[in-house]
Copies of this chain bind each other. A is one copy, B any other.
Amino acid sequence: VQLQAASKEQLTQYESDLKSAYQRLQEDQLTLDLTRGKPSADQVSIANKLDGILNGNYVSDSGVDTRNYGGPNGLPEMRALGGEILDIPASNVIAAGNSSLMLMYLTALMHYMYGLEGENATWQGMKKPKFICPVPGYDRHFSICENLGIEMITVPMTENGPDMDTIEALIKSDDEIIGLWCVPKYSNPTGVIYSEETVERIAKLGQIAHPLFRVFWDNAYAAHDLNDQPAPLANLWQLAQSAGTENSIWMFASSSKITFAGAGVAWVAGSDKNLKALQKLLSIAIIGFDKVNHLRHARLFPDMAALRTQMREHARYIRPKFDAVLTSLDVNLSEFGSWTNADGGYFVSFDTAPGLAKKVVSLAADAGVKLTPAGATFPYGNDPEDRNIRIAPTFPKTEDVEKAMEVFCICVKLATVQHRLASLAS
């Protein structure tokens, strides 16, 4: 059936066929889950040698007995590794705990409540501080803003990253914009790598924005390539240095999807001035981070080559799952929506026709396939066009991804055809 050209009768017949297919799938009583961007058991097993890797030697090459207090910025080896991942000097990096989200929260809190450029230079001291949120985006970023009462302004993602024309115009017209969320590589969920021009323009935002404006550069998938020849990401730090905007940049990364999810090492990086302010808060809130876990990671990854080898192992497990998703979409849904073709990261972002995402998620749920709630990729859970669905295929087995995608495609088709019929009727 050619959807656009189909008659009412053809659509009715099509709907009936889809309903039958849907009901047959329901009879299978599936319980499949495409919701969470989490690694599979196979993937986390790649890092199994972390336990026992110290071989009784808890002292780092840098001479630190990791079993005792000290060293609030983390183990030197891990600051260096974080620097390589984030493309920034090690001295600008703190190797921290197990959670980059915690670092983002504390960094936002530092700006919100404590400030760094004088006693009153806090976000909470502003009338209506606002963050720019490229959408679709990562719900936990939005939650931090919501939690601190920071207003969110959405800006569409393009295939080159967030729409920079709009962002620049917003910043010029509103001097209370104090932040921009970015997932610059394999963006969550669209999988986009920001283009060089985009990164250059982001580096220059500090020239036109409020002095308290900060880019939150969550490079969560910095090393998470699925292909051997990944597209490069421009070096934001160097560009910011050239632009004289180092203070407008915060960078984050984590090894959660390199070694163990929730049991890895997280990093935060920034200018000397920024780090000094964050360190002040950290010195109140924590004596130091888990350096034993730092050392385990330093032993596992003596250099970036070792880390890249690890990532190729991950890709070996993830690639077939992405292929299953993309093949299924290619074969079934070319007329029913649009999606991204990510070369890395954890997600495929799918857009239905407007107004159908919630319906699709609900249909899938009733057939035993759990999808990320529609709207989750937008601030306040509100996708104004109700079309974006984030597909996270890494955790289930490949055959389960295939089965889940079979259900997904039927649900998208069914919702679309029913919608079309309804609009013909009206």
Contact = CB atoms under 8 A, between A and B. Distances in A.
29 contacts: A36-B69, A38-B69, A44-B58, A45-B67, A47-B67, A51-B53, A51-B55, A51-B296, A52-B55, A66-B260, A67-B261, A67-B263, A68-B260, A68-B262, A97-B97, A97-B290, A99-B285, A99-B288, A101-B286, A109-B109, A144-B285, A147-B281, A147-B284, A262-B287, A262-B288, A263-B290, A263-B293, A290-B290, A290-B293
B68 A102 contact: no
Interface string A378-411: 0000000000000000000000000000000000
Interface of A is mostly: loop
Size band of the interface chain A makes with B: 35 or more
A54 B51 contact: yes
Interface in A198-257: 256
A52 B65 CA distance: 18
Contacts of A66: 260, 263
Interface string A259-276: 011110000000000000
A121 B53 CA distance: 49
Contacts of A44: 58, 65, 67-68
A68 B44 CA distance: 7
A113 interface: yes
A48 interface: yes
A99 B47 CA distance: 25
B98 A261 contact: no
Looking at A106, A144, A261, which has the most chain B CB atoms within 10 Å of its CB? A261
A118 interface: no
A317 interface: no
Contacts of A52: 51-52, 54-55
A58 B69 CA distance: 26
